[in-house]
Structure 1
Amino acid sequence: MKPTDFLVKTIVTTEVIAEIAKKNNVELRDCYTGFKWIAREIAISEGKQQYIGGGEESFGFLPYDKVRDKDAPASICLICEIAAWAKDQGKTLYDLLMQIYAEYGFSKEFTVNVVRPGKTGADEIKQMMSDFRANPPQELGGSKVVTWKDYQTLEEKHADGSVEKLNMPTTSNVLQWFCDDNTKVSVRPSGTEPKIKFYIEVKDSTFKCAGCYNRCTAAAMEKIEAIKKSLNLE
């Protein structure tokens, strides 16, 4: 990776990508859900910086800058190349994933879809977002919330009372909460279905090797259940 390279991820996508970028001195850009926003970042830096990859939590990925949309064939070719390289090293893709967790931190993601069909459902989802804005959570599953982001007002508020402006091209009906243990919860109504989505990401800094995977996964799922309880999502 070179200093002129950059990665792009959507705001609801794992923060492990941010750690990879940070430790390799590569710029990371956050954007809204949808590959048109990733394509926008490529266009902005065309001829000035090199795009080396971007994707979203729903597994869509764009490894090159030619298509400017999610590109499954190119992504499959890339993962096959990685698998072949790993085999030459006597490793598997699973082994590489465990190495990533050990070097950049373990992360468990979980999405909760709350379906509310019909006109009354749409009104209920709208009210849920209003309630979260009026009374944002102070803790999630026992972890203290220290940062609140509202992409509708483009404000980032911190526990110390400071407020920053979010650098985004437009507004979006998305809320994010970040805890002191790096837990992240993102909330947004679906743009195509009658539901509101909760994206939960839990970290575990004790992950050291593949032998830690089952323990860290079990602990993360316990944490996720506690977060769901905090948000009345049971």
Structure 2
Amino acid sequence: MLSVFIPGATSGIGLGLALRLREAGSTVIVGGRRTELLYRIRAEHPGLDTVRIDTCDPASITAAAAEVLERHPQLDTLITMAGIMLTEDLRDPSFLATAEDTVTTNLLGPIRLIAAFLPALLQRPRATVMTVTSGLAYVPLPATPTYNATKAAIHSFSESLRVQLRGTSVRVVELAPPGVRTTLMNQENDPTAMPLDEFLDEVMSLLASRPDAPQILVERVKWLRNAEAEGRYADVLDALSGLHR
């Protein structure tokens, strides 16, 4: 069974995936910023371990990595789940603060996490780094320009990391969700978003049936993922342009 650290797993897809992996027999450590929320998760879900981490703070990442690896020296999987998604009006110069926060959280955060954990993972006989991007890495939602850009960047970073780690014990997997019914962008009740349990069911099935797949793509995300290759890019972008105005 796996030993998995998931920073940013205190709600939504992250927590759902943590619980599914725990049910499957893995050791799972959930990371998050809010200590009181971590206490509640540990109380409500016996068997989950928790570690405080702020993925926007390099010192916090370094400290959390040391704590996780001390308590779980057999750690073999890192899932870089933490992220934010906010609308921006690029005509208003105040968007810059949101853009900078998004880059720090969604791009620098995962890169710093990988830098902190990769040396230990390379010592394991078999290990995994799972990055989390989005279908919007492939066709952008114009209302969230920096979010889309960070997810596209993480996709590109993942591709390069996979090539550089060829011949090592560490594989790189990209999880690219579609819109899912979570609190991200207030999608909890969005009928166009995928129900969380359905998403998790399909992800767990894909992980089991395709253990060496470089990407985990549920059917609902392929509308975005394959748009350019299938000659649908302009139509999909036009459809997304009417959302969240």
The answer to whether the superposition gives a TM-score over 0.5 is no
As a proportion of its length, which structure holds more strand?
1
Give TM-score scaled by structure 1 length: 0.33
Q: Give 1 or 2 for the bigger CA radius of gyration.
A: 1
Give TM-score scaled by structure 2 length: 0.32
As a proportion of its length, which structure holds more helix?
2
